[in-house]
Amino acid sequence: MTDTDTSTADILLERVGAVLVIRLNRPEARNALTPALLSAIGSAIITAESDPDIRVAVLTAAGDRAFCVGMDLKAFTSGGDFSKIAPEEKEGRAAFDRLMSGDVRIPLVGAANGTAVGGGFELLLSCDVVVASSAAKFGLPEVKRGLLAAGGGAVAIASRIPLALALELTLTGDTVEAARAQQLGLVNTVTEPEKVLEAALALAERIAANGPLAVAATKEIVRAAAADPARGQERMAQLSPTVFKSEDAKEGAMAFIQKRTPQWKGR
């Protein structure tokens, strides 16, 4: 199933059909985030968006200790400046910032193979759907370290769950089990630890089987509407003509009539 397998210092990229698997690759540090890793994640997002044959990306991590424990506190306390960006990392960091604000063109499936806290949980919250290990825990413990969930986690939590629960999680910094996170709507599916990537790929392939123009427009509309219903309606009105007049729309209707699999062209 694997078409390509490309490795870098901090990220592993693996092509599986129309899906790009992006794997955080710092297992010895429980995939803690460094400035270089932020840029590498952004560069991987650019790779996914730039290839018309990639329909969905899956974000997961190497190792079995954690998905991501957030900021690398050792790097932070030793003077690491997360706001300082090297010239060669600017493009990647800009893409990472887009990711954290939900502004990625293709759908993103989070595959939490282990615990995700702090920036690691914020990474998952930036994904469109999330598959989680039953052994994983999730939380925003920044206040326990005298810090803020400044990567968008506090805002994302407040927009997804009732205010009292959002305040409990962010003010205590406590973690929740995977089953509880699913009950709250913070993850979509919980499965056995060894089946997380398999389940995430299956979900990604179900998404990738659909019309890419329709998927991209639907993702943008739903995300916009979640924050501002009026904006969602506005984007619906703007995007609908392009989708309905596309070759893919005609192909989808014809494939349904002819009882065959549609052949999408993305136009």
- Contact between residue 141 and residue 115 where contact means Cβ atoms under 8 Å apart: no
The catalytic residue positions are 122, 142
- What is the C-alpha separation between 201 and 206, in angstroms, rounded? 9
C-alpha 54, offset from chain centre: 15
Paired tokens of 170: 């962010």
- What is the C-alpha separation between 97 and 104, in angstroms, rounded? 10
Give me the pLDDT at residue 162, please. 94
Strands (E), the chain: 2-7, 11-16, 19-24, 56-61, 108-112, 116-117, 129-133, 137-139, 175-177, 189-191
- Contact between residue 169 and residue 139 where contact means Cβ atoms under 8 Å apart: yes
- What is the C-alpha separation between 154 and 171, in angstroms, rounded? 10
**Phi, psi (rounded to 5 degrees) for 188:** -90, -40
User: In sequence order, which residues have a C-beta less than 8 Å from that of residue 142 and are 6 or more positions away?
Assistant: 70, 118, 148, 149, 150, 153, 173
3-state class (DSSP) for residue 63 = coil
pLDDT tens per residue across span 129-155: 999 999 999 999 999 989 888 888 899
Q: How far apart are the first and last CA of the chain?
A: 26
Considering the entire predicted model, what is its pTM?
0.90
Give me the pLDDT at residue 70, please. 86
- What is the C-alpha separation between 233 and 225, in angstroms, rounded? 7
3-state class (DSSP) for residue 120 = helix
Query: Which amino acid appears at position 60 of this protein?
Result: T
Low-confidence ranges of the chain (pLDDT < 50): 1-7
pLDDT tens per residue across span 11-45: 999 999 999 999 999 999 999 999 889 999 999 99
